[in-house]
Structure 1
Amino acid sequence: MHARVGHIVAWTSDEPVLVDYPGNPGGPQPARSVVELSPDAITAAIRDGRGVLLSFEDGRPDAPIITGLLQPLPSPEVEVEPDQARIEGVDEALVDGRRVVLEAADEIVLRCGKATIVLRRNGRVVIRGTYVETRSKGVNRVKGGSVEIN
C-alpha cells in the first residue's frame, strides 16, 4: 500500500491517535508516529481538519504510521476595490427567492457568534457550535464511509 494523506479523527491521552483515510476498508485505525505530536498539535489537527501523511507497516491498511503533519497552505490575500469592500448600511441581501450560489476557490466560512460552518475545496464540511440540532419531518439520514457517534 502506498503512502496516503489521511486525518486524525480521535485521540485521548490514554489511547493512540485514530486516523482515517480515503479507501480505508476497516474504519479509523490506531496509528503510530515517527514525528513528535504534542497534545496541542493533535487537537489542532482534529479541529482544523489538517491532513497527516501516512505510511503503512508492511503495506497493511490496518497498520498506519504517521510520517508527517501537513502544514496549512498560506491564504493568498485578495485585492478588493474600495467600492466593493462593504456597502455601508446594508445588513441584508435580497435575492430572487429561488437560489443563491456562493462560490470560492478554497473555502467559504459562515460565522455568527460561536457558530461556524466551513466548506472546503476538498469536500470537507465542518460544522461547529455550542449546540447543533437537526430536524426533519421525513427521514433524517446520516451517510458516510464510516459514521461515528460520540
Structure 2
Amino acid sequence: MKRDPSATDTELDPPRAPSLPDPAHAIGRIDGVVIGRVVRIDGGAVHVAFAGAPAQEVAARSLVAVTHSDNGRAAALSFEQADPRRPIVLGLIWQGAPTVSVDALPEKQMIVAEHELTLRCGEASITLTCDGKVLVRGAYVSTHAKGTNRIKGGSVRMN
C-alpha cells in the first residue's frame, strides 16, 4: 500500500471509540477511610453524608446493622473503587455509654436492670434501685400518691 505524502498520521489511524473518563476521576477519588454521618434509613437503605460527597446524602451499603436509632451517628466509610458515589459503612463510631431509642412502644414494655436504672432528660431524672428506692430529681417535681408521700425539697407545696 502506497502512502499519500499529504495525509497526516491521524487520517491513517483507524477510528477509535472516544475514551470515557473514569467515573471516580470525573468527580474525584476518595482513598482510605472517611468519617461521615448516618443521615437516615429509607426502606433498608442507609443514607450517609460526608466531606466530598457528590450530593447532600448518598445511599450506602453497610457491613454492620444500622437502624433508625443510629440516625445522626458518626460512621467509618470506605468507597468501592474510591468512588464517592459508592460508600460502604464499615462501622459506627463508639460514642460512650449505650442509649436506647424506641420508635414505637408496644402496649406494655418492661426494662430490667440488675442494680440501678436511671431515666434522664436534661435536669430531670428518675432512678430505681434494687433495694426498692425510687429517686426523683428535677427543677420542678409534681407527685401524686394513694399512700404515704414523703417529699424533700427546698420548699414543699401541698395540694
TM-score by length of 1: 0.41
Which has the greater radius of gyration? 2
